[in-house]
Amino acid sequence: MTNKSLGKAVVIGAGVGGLAAVQALSYHFDHVYLIERDAFVEDPEVRLGVPQSFHAHYLQPGGFRALRELFTHFELDLETSGAIFMKPGLDVREEIPNFGPLPRRDIGLKSASLTRLHLETLLGRRVRENKNVTTLYGCRVTRLSSNANGSVDTYYVNKVGENGVVTADFVVDASGRGTHIDMLLTSNGHQSPEETRLGVDIGYSTAMYLVPEEWQSNADWKGFLVRPAIPTSTRGAFLLPIQGDRWLLTLVGAHGDHPPASEHEFAAFIESLKSPALSEAVGRAQRLGEIKRFRFPESTWRHYESLDNRSMAIVPLGDAWCRFNPVYGQGMSVAAMEAVFLYEAFNAAAQAGDILLDAIGNYYARSYALISDVWQMAAIPDLAHPATGGERPHDLSKRLAFNSAILRSAMQDADVHRLMYEVRSLVTPPSCLRALGNDCAHL
């Protein structure tokens, strides 16, 4: 359903969430402007505005479905560009301390593995094909201001210092920091949102490898995940296939035990994980380029949903609203799903008296429910480590015990395994797992 009668919209930020939001709004608004401070580059190696872009990113099946819903040719674009399609549970070997590797099972889920910047390039190409979309790459938003009629002026400056302004009926802040929406809120007498923070102190080290030829044809898995043995150790790793017959191996550590960048120490860190399968795979592969590091100090949830700001024609999306611990691979997928909520909210509001107000309320309600579920999924294992900063729920030990019980059951029960992965993959709400626990005495 389309409703091309809502005037102009602006999206700030051309990450995965911002690009998906542009696509979603292009079905409903006469014209959509995308403003991004970085330049558009075909297949970039790094993007200045996303310092973590080199490191491994995972598109959960829930995010895969969301992008497929918004972009008609999404799967075809992935296939022709060399992305690696994967079935979680079957193609990804997951090793869990004190449990061993999960059994290989086809649990009916599908996703794709590729670099984050390659994904952004594919989505950016499709967005730029829309006749009612104007992309302003290399432009930095300087301020926002509201007009008496409810519209928003978005002021920007381009790379040669020229100023511009777009007056829009609706704005999405997908800039990754949330500062733009905050500026508009405070200038209109609203308070900044309260924040929930978790001091996770995550450190990354990532290396790229050429996949050995014999591995491409003989291996029974495509990706690899080693979970940390918290609270005794925060060390873990994930290895993902990317386009061009390459692997990205990201080593992870927290609370001061961050992976190194030197070749010798990097190899020693891999050995400390005590995963012969991972060590063998990496030992056969040729490393390409240097080892790169990144640090993520804290997860941050800015509670825009609790403010009385629904009458303002601006909403946050993606990291501008909530920055999740990247270890769990949730950020891109949540942002893509929020963009689908935008699309569906304007569909549902098409017959409302105040389409914009109704759509904003719908979007906030559905996105808040998603964020709340995903935040809890990451926060509980994070808070298991005593050094993690943040308020702990009174029943933390009970929740951790439940998670362990689910894992034990998943080792033996294919149905529990499937449901656990569906929840992790953002295609089934966590309430279904909790209901399973209530129904099963052995959990």
Kindly report the CATH number assigned to the domain that includes residue 130.
Answer: 3.50.50.60
pLDDT at position 439 = 57
The answer to whether the beta carbons of residues 287 and 208 sit under 8 Å apart is: yes
Last residue of a domain, which of 296, 327, 355? Answer: 296
Last residue of a domain, which of 269, 296, 323? Answer: 296
- Range of weakest confidence among 51-60, 102-111, 140-149, 398-407: 51-60
**H or E element: which one contains 188?**
none
Please tell me the distance from the alpha carbon of residue 332 to that of residue 13, in angstroms, as a whole number.
Answer: 13
For residues 165 and 50, which has the higher predicted lDDT (pLDDT)? 165
pLDDT for 49 beyond 60: no
Same domain, 127 and 24: yes
pLDDT at position 283 = 92
Asked if the structure places residue 43 within a domain, the reply is: yes
Reported as a pLDDT band with limits 50, 70 and 90, residue 150 is confident
Phi then psi for residue 160, to 5 deg, are -105, 15
pLDDT for 176 beyond 90: no
**H or E element: which one contains 411?**
helix 396-412
The answer to whether the beta carbons of residues 362 and 345 sit under 8 Å apart is: yes
Last residue of a domain, which of 242, 262, 296? Answer: 296
- With tokens 């405070």, the residue in question is 186
pLDDT for 350 beyond 80: no
pLDDT for 2 beyond 60: no
Please tell me the distance from the alpha carbon of residue 307 to that of residue 309, in angstroms, as a whole number.
Answer: 5
pLDDT at position 265 = 96
Please tell me the distance from the alpha carbon of residue 281 to that of residue 339, in angstroms, as a whole number.
Answer: 37
Helix (H, G, I), strand (E, B) or coil at 295: strand
For residues 11 and 308, which has the higher predicted lDDT (pLDDT)? 11
- The model's pLDDT over 208-241, given as tens digits with 9 standing for 90+, comes to 999 988 887 667 889 999 999 988 899 999 999 9
How far is residue 153 from each of residues 93, 145, 167, 168, 176, measured CA to CA in Å? 49, 5, 4, 6, 20
- The model's pLDDT over 87-140, given as tens digits with 9 standing for 90+, comes to 999 999 999 988 889 999 999 999 999 988 899 999 999 999 999 999 999 999
Asked if the structure places residue 209 within a domain, the reply is: yes
What would you measure as the largest C-alpha separation in the chain, in angstroms?
66
pLDDT for 22 beyond 70: yes
pLDDT for 432 beyond 50: yes
Asked if the structure places residue 63 within a domain, the reply is: no
Same domain, 133 and 213: no
pLDDT for 43 beyond 70: no
Structure tokens at 212: 């050995």
Helix (H, G, I), strand (E, B) or coil at 311: coil
Q: ∠246-248-254 over CA atoms, to 5°? A: 170
pLDDT at position 44 = 58
pLDDT at position 312 = 81
Print the domain residue range for 175.
8-57+116-196+299-380
Partners of residue 195 on adjacent β-strands: 302
Across 404-432, average pLDDT: 93
pLDDT at position 337 = 98
Asked if the structure places residue 101 within a domain, the reply is: no
Which candidate, 47, 19, 50, 46, places its Cα nearest to that of 342? 19
Please tell me the distance from the alpha carbon of residue 167 to that of residue 172, in angstroms, as a whole number.
Answer: 13
Same domain, 38 and 148: yes
Same domain, 227 and 124: no
pLDDT for 291 beyond 90: yes
pLDDT at position 148 = 85
Q: What is the DSSP track for 12-54? A: E--SHHHHHHHHHHHTTSSEEEEEESSPP-SS-S-BTTBTTTT
Q: How many domains does the chain have?
A: 3
pLDDT for 253 beyond 70: yes
Q: What is the mean pLDDT of the chain?
A: 90
pLDDT at position 36 = 93
Same domain, 210 and 307: no
Across 21-50, average pLDDT: 82
Asked if the structure places residue 262 within a domain, the reply is: yes
Reported as a pLDDT band with limits 50, 70 and 90, residue 379 is very high
Best mean pLDDT range from 49-58, 186-195, 279-288: 279-288
pLDDT at position 440 = 55
Same domain, 47 and 135: yes
Same domain, 191 and 230: no
Across 24-37, average pLDDT: 96
Question: What percentage of the chain reaches a pLDDT higher than 90?
Answer: 73
pLDDT at position 322 = 96
pLDDT at position 158 = 86
Same domain, 21 and 153: yes
- Range of weakest confidence among 232-241, 334-343, 430-439: 430-439
Same domain, 120 and 257: no
Asked if the structure places residue 404 within a domain, the reply is: yes
Please tell me the distance from the alpha carbon of residue 101 to that of residue 96, in angstroms, as a whole number.
Answer: 6
Across 59-71, average pLDDT: 97
Same domain, 226 and 349: no
Axis-axis angle for helices 61-70, 74-81 (nearest 10): 110
Same domain, 25 and 131: yes
Reported as a pLDDT band with limits 50, 70 and 90, residue 441 is very low
Across 323-352, average pLDDT: 92
Asked if the structure places residue 2 within a domain, the reply is: no
For residues 443 and 334, which has the higher predicted lDDT (pLDDT)? 334
Same domain, 304 and 205: no
pLDDT for 411 beyond 90: yes
Asked if the structure places residue 421 within a domain, the reply is: yes
Residue ranges of E strands in 87-160: 92-96, 100-101, 111-113, 133-137, 139-146, 152-158
CATH of the domain at 235: 3.30.70
**H or E element: which one contains 127?**
helix 116-129
